A and B are shown apart, each in its own frame.
Chain A
Amino acid sequence: MTTSGYTESIAAAPRARRKLPRWWFAAALFGLLLGLSLLEQVTGADDLVSRGTVAATLIAVVPIMLAGLGGLWSERAGVVNIGLEGMMILGTWGAGYFGYHYGAWAGVAGAIVMGMLGGLVHAIATVVFGVDHIISGVAINIIALGAVQYLASLTFVGLPGGGQTQSPKIEDVPSINITFLGDFFGDIVDKNIFFVSQTAAVAQALVTNLSWLVVISMLLLVVTWFVLWRTSFGLRLRSCGESPSAAESLGVHVLRYKFAAVLISGGLAGLAGGFLAMVASSNYRDGQTGGRGYIGLAAMIFGNWRPGGLLAGSGLFGYSETLGLRAGGDSVHALLLAIAVLAIAAAVWQARQQQQRAAIITGVVAVALGVLYFAIDEVPSDFSTMTPYVVTLLVLAFASQRLRMPAADGQIYRKGSAG
């Protein structure tokens, strides 16, 4: 048909969606490392990229990332999951109980299964009964906490080193240890060559008792990306989050996919809890999750409902938390400078984007931070404790208008609503 296609020319042009090249992630890491090395040079803070920091950061990041991954699965299928925290809590107990009685890997499995139980409740409530997702999630958080404390009092009291609020020590998950490489990198680190040593430190952290669970978790991130964006299963699942009625009109069993997604979500959250109990520490403890389920949710939104972004979000949080906990004072102090510089960059960018008011505000923030940096030479402990939260908040304030959640996220869908 001769005139075919002119409607596009009239219709709105496609949103400028800059596609990132394949290697963007490596590039980002490289840049990050370079930046931090520079920061160490400038500020003299020496713990920004040490083996210990990297190792501890990994430990801090993984549970948040796994929780976020759980959120990613369910929200991509259109089910909001505030219950992540609860499912994590269930996971910690699962790891504690099965880990103690049947060994490390049983603990991992136990954590996943317990998390899935939580997911099952959420799925039944939201998918089958059409309960508001938030309500169900909140309820699950309450139930999980009570259930776990109750279970702990039943199962751990009287065991050696066990009690109302903690399980006995759990056998460790095996970890990777390549000593000669570790020593090799260690030597380079000690040479203190700009950037090289820092890179070596990272490498060293990756070969000295790196828990297999860390590796597995990182793989899960990749697998998630592949399954959701490269398989038909993933396409169907995402379509349930974008437009369930369209999906159903094409014969997709929407409810089944939502159900599956929420179960997987629970499993991942459970694993996150298990990780806390088995790798981050070595036994179940009451209140061990410390709101990391919510943080995971935040990291996922931060990451725009995408695995890469999620990793960035949880990384940012985990890293600044680690700095606060380790050397604390001067590392966080150094971080101030970094943020100030970034803020200035942001301000310039905003000015370019004709967002004068935003630019001014950002600029003021930047200057304030800069002044603060030179005014004090160590950050008081209370404030280094709040660093991760403040940083997350700041970063979001700069860059959160581009976020786009799945179109049907949080909506209750009933069969036969197509058309």
Chain B
Amino acid sequence: MTKARLTRLGLGVASAVLALLAAFAITSLVLIAAGDPVGEVWGQLLSWPEQRNWANIINNATVLFLSGLAVAVSFRMNLFNIGVDGQYRVAAFTAAVVAGEAWLPGYLNTALAILCAMAVGAIWAGIAGVLRATRGVSEVISTIMLNAIATSLVAYLLRKAAVREEGSNALGTKEIPEGSRIGGLPFGDFEIYGFIIMAAAFGFAFWFVLNRTRFGFDLRATGQSTTAAVASGVSVKKMTVAAMMISGAIAGLVGLPILFGDAYTYGSTFQSGLGFAGIAIALLGRNNPIGIALGALLFAYLDEQSNPLQILVGVSPDIVAITQGVIVLTVVISYELVRRYGVRLEQREVARALATPSTDQPEEVSA
């Protein structure tokens, strides 16, 4: 068994490398076909980032990580929460307003804002959960619809809550007071989001709850086989709502590192589309925290490195989107190949066990 495990681990690593190489090759082919300078492009993408860029990479990875985590929760229960995008925007807006109003002093204010964000995210996702549980509405549809609704709703509320400093055309909520911001951690001469610690904590909590608690077991069981879960005494309706709400609560955190560590206000230019990136990253990371973290880093790295492509090399940065998508595919394909190999290994083991003669002598012989 352990031998098999080791081989599989090795193969896992190999497959990852293989996937990256494949993505590398395909991207290069595209560049060549387009007559773009392949060498220069990779030269830029693979150049060792400046410390400053590392800081950016880590920061953006933190955000993507949370987004991936949120999606992964629902995936683990075989729910497809496309709605992380809407959930985090509603939540970030709420947090910005609450923190901006500063009803409580200092970090109490921060804590309150974070809780509100999680609550709102949970409720927004919970709508889809309830509709699914009570009315059987596919969460795929409902979350898509809720994304759009979130957009209009936030836009409406934003204009109600917005304050505009003179001369600026940007629209934003009240700035969060100094005392309630989350300071950065020193990173060389630069800083990274202090929120990264919370993100890590949530990553661990995710792992622990799913793999070490009854709740997590029920959740995974439901994800694997609803029928078996029901027979084992799981209330699927409750689990559906719970899973969606947890997913939404984590989604509620997605925007917060930016909000408390950088922007200090939610405005018209607040980053959008993080939820969809999260889907890819959750899939890339096989819904487990470590994998998601690596996936997030990879995506953030590519985004950061591709940024100056147009200025330095004269190639559209969009090329890396192709790379990112291809990676998702190639990684999964190689995962799949390895998985099949693993199954075969296992069956060989089983077969050996089956081959050994029965120790069970039928005792009762009726005359």
A contact residues vs B (CB 8 Å cutoff): 121, 125, 129-132, 134-136, 138-147, 149-150, 153-154, 164, 291, 294-295, 297-298, 301-302, 358, 380, 382-383, 385-386, 389-390, 392-393, 396-398, 400-401, 403
Contact = CB atoms under 8 A, between A and B. Distances in A.
B192 interface: no
Given A135-B332, A153-B316, A298 B322 contact: no
Nearest to A324: B152
Contacts, number: 139
12 contacts: A130-B336, A135-B328, A138-B280, A139-B280, A145-B321, A146-B321, A146-B324, A147-B322, A150-B322, A382-B155, A389-B145, A393-B145
Interface string B137-160: 110111011111101110110000
Contacts of A358: 135
Given A132-B332, A400-B135, A385 B152 contact: yes
B326 interface: yes
Contact of B325 (A132, A140, A294, A398): A140
Contact of B142 (A141, A144, A393): A393
Contacts of B156: 380, 382-383
Contacts of A295: 144
- Of the four ranges (under 10, 10 to 19, 20 to 34, 35 or more), the interface on chain B belongs to 35 or more
B11 to A, nearest CB: 16
B40 interface: no
Contacts of A398: 135
Contact of A386 (B149, B279, B332): B149
Contact of B280 (A142, A150, A392, A396): A142
B144 A291 contact: yes
B269 to A, nearest CB: 16
B141 A396 contact: yes
Interface in B107-148: 131, 135-138, 140-142, 144-148
A389 B149 contact: yes
A112 to B, nearest CB: 21
Contact of B333 (A129, A138, A389, A393): A129
B243 interface: no
Interface of B: 30, 34, 80, 82, 131, 135-138, 140-142, 144-149, 151-153, 155-156, 276, 279-280, 283, 316, 318-326, 328-329, 332-333, 336
Interface of B is mostly: helix
Contacts of A141: 276, 325
Nearest to A290: B148
A120 B23 CA distance: 18
A178 B135 CA distance: 47
B144 A401 contact: no
A386 B135 contact: no
A146 B324 CA distance: 9
B34 A154 contact: yes
Contacts of B279: 138
Given A153-B316, A400-B136, A134 B141 contact: no
A298 B148 contact: no
Nearest to B159: A382
Nearest to B145: A389
A403 B140 CA distance: 14
A143 B321 contact: yes
Contacts of A144: 325
Contacts of B325: 139-144, 146
Given A135-B283, A401-B135, A150 B336 contact: no
A143 B34 contact: no
A382 B138 contact: no
Given A142-B328, A146-B318, A396-B141, 16 more contacts: A131-B329, A141-B325, A142-B280, A142-B321, A144-B325, A145-B318, A147-B318, A150-B318, A294-B82, A297-B140, A298-B141, A298-B145, A393-B141, A396-B131, A396-B135, A403-B138
Contacts of A130: 336
B138 A400 contact: yes
A397 B135 contact: yes
B149 A150 contact: no
B279 to A, nearest CB: 5
Contact of B324 (A142, A382, A383, A390): A142
Given A298-B144, A383-B152, A383-B156, A400 B333 contact: no
B276 to A, nearest CB: 8
A289 B197 CA distance: 38
B153 A125 contact: no
Given A135-B328, A146-B322, A393-B142, A386 B148 contact: yes
Given A146-B318, A294-B82, A403-B136, A131 B333 contact: yes
Given A139-B326, A153-B316, A301 B138 contact: yes
A188 B322 CA distance: 54
A251 B117 CA distance: 56
Nearest to B144: A294
A128 B338 CA distance: 15
A136 B329 CA distance: 6
